[in-house]
Amino acid sequence: MLRSTLALTLPLALAAALPAQAAGILPWTDAGAVAEGEMLYQDFCASCHGADLEGEPDWRTPKPSGRMPAPPHDETGHTWHHPDRQLFELTKQGVAAVVGRGYESDMMGFGDVLSDDEILAVLAYIKSTWPPRVIETHDRINAAQEGN
């Protein structure tokens, strides 16, 4: 009886002890990954998305080219509205490739520039800057996505 009780309670206890990132794929609680991600963000992303993740001015209004400005990646933007896997694909392949249907974007894919782990580190850095309420919401979005 004890063995069957342990067999049922141990997995539940382990699941409860897992970090919130278990609902997604970003290592945002790993200080090393976050530090690497911050350096990579500054090198590859800040020129468009801002050194402080603030995005381009008036980011909701199309540019004269018809393309959208780079959005903020802080809590004021919509990055946290997307599950981890979608953020990864957008970063790796580029927005136009993911959206398709002739959509044009200034956001190139970084799959030929950064490894998958480096892309995850950049996204982990971004997530690590969000306030707890935004992280909680993002974790719920990830959990719902993984449940499909």
Predicted confidence (pLDDT) per residue in 91-131, tens digit: 999 999 999 999 999 999 999 999 999 999 999 999 999 99
* Residue 18's pLDDT band (cuts 50, 70, 90): very low
- Residue 39's contacts (CB-CB under 8 Å, 6 or more residues apart) are none
pLDDT at 11 over 70: no
Task: Report d(CA 143, CA 148) in Å as an integer.
Answer: 9
pLDDT at 17 over 90: no
Tell me the domain boundaries of the chain. 2-146
pTM: 0.83
Q: How far is CA 7 from CA 4, 12, 13, 14, 15, in A?
A: 5, 9, 11, 11, 13
Which class would CATH give 2-146? mainly alpha
